[in-house]
Amino acid sequence: MIVRLWGTRGSLASSGPETAGYGGNTASVEIVHADGSILALDAGTGIRRLGAAIDASVERFGGIDVLVSNAGIQIVAPLDEFEFASWKKLLAIHLDGAFLTTRAVLQRMYKQGTGGSIIYMGSVHSKEASVLKAPYVTAKHGLIGLAKVVAKEGAKHGVRANVICPGFVRTPLVDKQIPEQAKELGISEADVIKKVMLKDTVDGEFTTLADVAETAVFFAAFESNALTGQSLVVSHGWSMQ
């Protein structure tokens, strides 16, 4: 998902669907300027190319105000059967990718001296756990820790960091899980949706892309350090705090 920020200055960088040079995956970065123009960049399979892609956006638009770190995949299996290579791949995409994009953008934001907002795409699984998802739950919990450190380090530079924690959103990533979980759990696909994915929501509804996008805009537009180092669950009541 690409979240576009419509504002009065600067640009927004969003990384996804996968990230730089880990697990055989490549990075894509889309920059959305306040005037609505878009710069789509292929960051390739290396850290240097990621930096070059971000530099290209700074050169074209004059700065970066918001990073949405949105890369992610899902692999489901019982922990006792989980392949180490799959474990490393998932953590690399979620956590190494978040680190690399954050570091690259922070360097530019600090240099600009105008502050900024770092937004991580967590999950209800940043707060809760589910069977078959050990590395995903581990990675999503890790994003909250990363955001808290960025919030503390970035405060003196006017840089905020927060995490969006959506419930299940009906994307290709979730659609892929439905038959996989049905097979692992020995239930129907309909029951995966009703009795696994949505059973703890207040209304049996999926979270929507619009729900997540509106939350991202809210975080991006909040300009003071009053809201930083926080995580907001958007899950139709699946997880309540």
Q: Give CA–CA dist 15/173, Å, rounded.
A: 16
Name the nearest CA neighbour of 15 among 58, 66, 69, 51. 69
Is 136 a residue of the active site? yes
* 11-15 and 27-33 strand pairing: antiparallel
Name the nearest CA neighbour of 71 among 50, 97, 52. 97
Name the nearest CA neighbour of 120 among 89, 91, 98. 98
- Cβ contact 115:212 at 8 Å: no
Which tokens is 76 given? 């489901």
3-class secondary-structure state, position 80:
helix
Cis peptide leading into 17, omega within 30 of 0? yes
- Cβ contact 18:71 at 8 Å: yes
| Catalytic residue from among 22, 110, 120, 136 | 136
Distances (CA, A) of 105 to 1, 13, 60, 71, 196: 19, 9, 15, 15, 37
| Active-site residue set | 136
